[in-house]
Structure 1
């Protein structure tokens, strides 16, 4: 990302002060990320030379959706652009150190976010998980949204990629037909982060946790919780604080692998057969085949 794009991004964000420094931050696999300092402020800027349609708009909208719940903290978004060749997202720079209560504050914040309910499940616009598009819609029942917009979408993509066939395809079809055996009715549509793993929360000043990189939807809050247990990054203090603020339902342990299946299918479709055995284990558990 050359300085002309940085300057355009800052101008669009309303900062015309002198650019002091631009430092690339390594670690992300999708975008290039930069710490940018001006005489006026510090920023975190993401850049992508050729993003999918509405890519940064979707992220900005997701962060704003969480911010409106008045629960867990999110970075302020100053501006964004999805223009090919110079797509960017400008956010506030977040930096701090954890203290004794940081994990508990995160658990409380996520629980409060989940207490923000909507009338329908899903989301009003399409989103992304990584670079994979997620087709959305609004559904009366969570089970219908989860079957059609999440599991079936990844099942079809896996067939196209040649990663779901044979016994795996047969088990998947059986599972899709029998979801009502495990997912209860009457589930409230909670505001969900949608990509809640350990890499998607950071620590701000005074040890306050912030969530980042959402893939927002409304649905069963246990769907968010299930993903926190796939790749780790959440402590016992997080779950204890969450459960005290919004007690976890008894059916969670039964449905948890079923909700984790979606994310395992995403990783299967993105990264290949290294995730195949994990997918198969979940399918065998629920189909007995």
Structure 2
């Protein structure tokens, strides 16, 4: 960690940085285990090229999740925000331990309770980021409008600007948009979403319980988080069964999985390139 960042982190935390050890696993940011002069250990992520508000809105997202009952009662953990600056975010250090026997069931029940902590509407009162991509959350009156306007359309525009989206693929999305109000499922209240819930953003804390990190929060359809969880693996069958026991899903939810995987797949196209376009095509095949 550069000296200027060490000084900024120490000043924000009220104790000088004695040691900063690099941690692996971050695609977007650098991650550090920081030991302070008073002996306290904290987790710090840094990015000297980050947009000025990126860490601030992540901190707001963590706090928004922490308001929910399953975090307050300890079913789920979310790291506490300790300090934030334009180039860093300092969080409670969540040490890891072996999973408790009912880890998957706790995670499933906890996610259902998190989703039930309904926000005011579809969207959020501020924009944020998914990975390093901007994510608009302008409120919408209904979920189909929000999903098209705030999720799929911006990613399609970005992919078009990068020269990754063919005219034929764009026409297929236009066909989907014409049918979207009938495809999104029965009307439901907005859910409090993590927003980027792949296996890398699930952590096991020192007590062996589930913790959620690196969110991209908003009020949306609860099947969005569940579809993302199924996209790249990392979640056991018991997680989904426990979720359904706590809050059964609406009829047709299995058929909607590829619909709600389109957003993270398009995000991956824009983050990592056209190698994900085949997955986008296959998801469209399943919903058109």
TM-score, scaled relative to structure 2: 0.93
Q: Tell me by how many angstroms 1:7 deviates.
A: 3.4
In the other structure, the counterpart of 1:96 is 96
**Cα distance in 2, alignment partners of residues 189 and 226 from structure 1:** 16
Among 68, 73, 78, which residue is 1:74 paired with? 78
Give how far 1:285 is off: 2.7
Shift of 1:6: 2.0
For residue 144 of structure 2, give the secondary structure of its aligned residue in structure 1: helix
Aligned position for 2:73? none
- 1:11-33 deviations in whole A, cap 9, x for unaligned? 3123x2x6443210122111111
What is the match of residue 13 of structure 1? Answer: 13
Is 1:231 the counterpart of 2:232? The answer is yes
Report the equivalent of 1:243. 244
Q: Cα offset for 1:264? A: 0.8
Q: Structure 1 regions of 5+ residues with no counterpart?
A: none
Q: SS at the partner of 2:231?
A: coil
Q: Distance in 2 between matches of 1:80 and 1:239?
A: 34
Q: Deviations over 1:216-244 (max 9, x none)?
A: 01011011100000001101121122122
The answer as to whether partners of 1:182 and 1:254 remain within 8 angstroms in 2 is no
Any idea what SS the aligned residue of 2:69 has?
Answer: coil
- Give the superposition deviation at 1:61: 0.5
Aligned position for 1:52: 51
Unaligned residue ranges in structure 2 (runs of 5+): 71-75
Q: Structure 2 residue aligned with 1:31, among 29, 38, 53? A: 29
- For residues 27 and 286 of structure 1, what CA distance do their matches in structure 2 show? 33
> Secondary structure of the equivalent of 1:108?
helix
Q: Secondary structure at the match of 1:139?
A: coil
Deviation per CA, 1:236-262: give whole Å up to 9, x if none: 121122122222222211211100011
CA distance in 2, matches of 1:248, 1:121: 18
Equivalents in 2 of 1:213, 1:89: separation in Å? 11
The CA distance in 2 between the partners of 1:19 and 1:133, in whole Å, is: 31
Q: Distance in 2 between matches of 1:284 and 1:243?
A: 27
Compared with structure 1, are the counterparts of its residues 6 and 154 closer, same or farther at alpha carbon in structure 2 (3 Å cutoff)? same
Question: Do the aligned residues in 2 keep the contact of 1:69 with 1:113 (CA within 8 Å)?
Answer: yes
SS in 1 for 2:90: strand
Q: Is the 8 A contact 2:255 2:287 kept in 1?
A: no
Distance apart, 1:143 and its partner CA: 1.0
When normalised by structure 1's length, the TM-score is: 0.93
Structure 1: which 4+ aligned runs deviate by more than 4 Å? none
- Say if 2:10 and 2:17, in contact at 8 Å, map to a contact too: no
3-state SS of the aligned residue for 1:24?
strand
45-54 or 188-197: bigger deviation: 45-54
